[in-house]
Amino acid sequence: MESEEAAAAAAEGGTVTPAPKKRGRKPKIKEDSQTKEQSGGKKTKQSVDEKYTQWKGLVPILYDWLANHNLVWPSLSCRWGPQLDQATYKNRQRLYLSEQTDGSVPNTLVIANCEVVKPRVAAAEHISQFNEEARSPFVKKYKTIIHPGEVNRIRELPQNSKIIATHTDSPDVLIWDVETQPNRHAVLGAATSRPDLILTGHQDNAEFALAMCPTEPFVLSGGKDKSVVLWSIQDHITTVGTDSKSSGSIIKQTGEGGDKTESPSVTPRGVYHGHDDTVEDVAFSPTSAQEFCSVGDDSCLILWDARTGTSPVTKVEKAHDADLHCVDWNPHDDNLILTGSADNTVRLYDRRNLTSNGVGTPIYKFEGHRAAVLCVQWCPDKSSVFGSSAEDGLLNIWDYDRVSKKSDRAAKSPAGLFFQHAGHRDKVVDFHWNAADPWTIVSVSDDCETTGGGGTLQIWRMSDLIYRPEEEVLAELETFKSHVMTCASKP
């Protein structure tokens, strides 16, 4: 689209300032020789393939289960939806993805059904025998929604995960009731699907910063207009039941006289100003719909309280040494906030240590990525555990409790890092812990730089021997050892 605009401008004798690239596709900054030496040089296809081959050989040891799903088009977001049913060996669950196309076919929002294998069911030799170019039998497309523009972000409403919000290259937030939306065939020229609600209020494009409140049906967004915008969709939802088998729309149709050709729009509950550059991510407090935080390209972390007005409650001026890309608020401890940045680090803040004059020192700085951090998220299963994904193709799993317990045998790894998922061969643009299936993660990479197109979706669960208490694991291994020795001694 950008090249078409440039060509049109050139034909008219004008000039066009190219729009900045998305974080999911940001071109690498040219490095000088010193920087390149420090970073280990440019990432080559050979080095990527070698590391990937090494990782794949370790899959039977490191993972309880892993499914690899090749994507024809990249997806910049991936989210778990409601669990549909449970069986003896696996559960079935909704999965939300997107297709970011080149324009030959429409951009789409994809609703898939995913079969999640239960712990200690999959055979080790089976999970490592997958074809990188094939689609996984565990992931089946259920419905396609033709999205008006690229899908940059997907977020589900915690009170009812059949309702999702999406960000595209526009000022609006789009709300979808995915169960009642018709299934569409994505062909060139097809009309876009109609959102159930449109949230207005931004004065410029809002592309990435998006959050849904865990306690109330509130939506939060940030954009290029440097503002944070809050909406309530309470009045447009007929029920917040989570029964995935229920029928009928849960979004009230508010068109007058039965006119449903246009989507109803919702104006903001509040617009908050305090950033000096694009707002890149937002997050709600886990305990209050009135409290939230935001981060942006101005390197700031800002805390807000809707009850006290539209100005920042706390503003940390230099939260990182570069643009901030992501933020997450601990669901178990509402004092702890994670931030990730283009400076390759993840930082942990305690809001009790932050002051209104912009002074704020992180509790800890986690250094384990070699490129910009794109996504951070706390684990729903353990309060001190979180994940971070980056442009280096890695998804790191950290445990803050292990920082002070660093042992000699782990001295070569960064403090707190206890698992590294290296199954992606390009930037990991999004991931999501599965709240319905402990320690299970879906992650997605945009593989355009390494393979020339498409992406990779992976659903995985590390071996429980990695995260369970050490004494418990050693006791189990001792029992297993005794069993092996007994079997070996029999004639």
- At 480 the pLDDT is 78
- Residues 148 and 392: their CA atoms lie apart, in Å, by 30
Evaluate whether residue 125 is within a structural domain.
yes
Give the integer Cα–Cα distance in Å for 421 and 78. 17
pLDDT surpasses 50 at 31? no
Kindly report the three-state secondary structure assignment for every residue of the chain: CHHHHHHHHHHCCCCCCCCCCCHHHCCCCCCCHHHHHHHCCCCCHHHHHHHHHHHHHHHHHHEEEEEEEEECCCCCCCEEEEEEEECCCEEEEEEEEEECCCCCCCCEEEEEEEEEECCCCCCHHHHCCCCCCCCCCCEEEEEEEECCCCCCEEEEECCEEEEEEEECCCCCEEEEECCCCCCCCCCCCCCCCCCCEEECCCCCCCCCCEEECCCCCEEEEECCCCEEEEEECHHHECCCCCCCCCCCCCECCCCHHHCCCCCCEECCCEEEECCCCCEEEEEECCCCCCEEEEEECCCCEEEEEHHHCCCCCEEECCCCCCCEEEEEECCCCCCEEEEEECCCEEEEEEHHHCCCCCCCCCCEEEECCCCCEEEEEECCCCCCEEEEEECCCCEEEEEHHHHHHCCHHHCCCCCCEEEEECCCCCCEEEEEECCCCCCEEEEEEECHHHHCCCEEEEEEEECHHHHCCHHHHHHHHHHHHHHHHHHHHCC
362 within some domain: yes
Q: Measured between alpha carbons, how far is 196 from 94 in angstroms, rounded to an integer?
A: 19
Q: Residue 241's pLDDT is what?
A: 45
Nearest Cα residue to 204 out of 223, 230, 187 = 223
Residue 300 lies in a domain: yes
Residue 43: per-residue pLDDT: 53
Q: Is residue 58 part of a domain?
A: no
**Encoded amino acid at 476, one letter:** E
Beta 108-117 vs 440-446: how paired, if at all? unpaired
Question: Residue 20: inside a domain, yes or no?
Answer: no
**Burial level of 491, CB count in 10 A (0-12/13-18/19+)?**
exposed
Where in the sequence is the domain holding 90, given as residue range(s)?
A: 67-239+262-486
At 370, the pLDDT band (50, 70, 90 cuts) reads very high
Proportion of the chain above pLDDT 70, given as a percent: 82
Tokens of 7: 């060509």
Q: Encode pLDDT of 327-349 as tens digits.
A: 999 999 999 999 999 999 999 99
The label of the residue with tokens 């050693």 reads 474
The domain tally of the chain equals 1
Best CA proximity match to 267, nearest among 236, 234, 232 = 232
38 within a domain of the structure (yes/no): no
The least confident of 81-95, 374-388, 432-446, 475-489 is 475-489
CATH number at residue 117: 2.130.10.10
* Mean pLDDT over the full length of the chain: 86
Question: What integer pLDDT is reported at residue 411 of this predicted model?
Answer: 60
Query: Structure tokens of 83?
Result: 């669990």
pTM: 0.87
Predicted confidence at residue 111, as pLDDT, reads: 98
Q: In the predicted model, is pLDDT for residue 128 greater than 80?
A: yes
In order of 378, 459, 485, the CA distances from 434 in angstroms are 11, 10, 38
18-27, 62-71, 123-132, 384-393: which range is least confident on average? 18-27
Nearest to 192 by CA among 88, 109, 257, 270: 109
Could you count the other beta carbons within 10 Å of the beta carbon of residue 71? 23
How sure is the predictor about 15, in pLDDT bands with cuts at 50, 70 and 90? very low
Q: In sequence order, what are the residues at sequence separation of 6 or more whose Cβ sits closer than 8 angstroms to the Cβ of residue 410?
A: none
Say which amino acid occupies 342: A
Q: For residue 48, is it within any domain?
A: no
Among 197-211, 296-310, 387-401, 406-420, whose mean pLDDT is lowest? 406-420
Position 486 confidence tier, pLDDT thresholds 50, 70, 90: confident
In the numeric block, which tokens belong to residue 311? 């100005």
* Residue 118: inside a domain: yes
Please name the residues in contact with 89: beta carbons below 8 A apart, sequence gap of 6 or more: 117, 118, 121
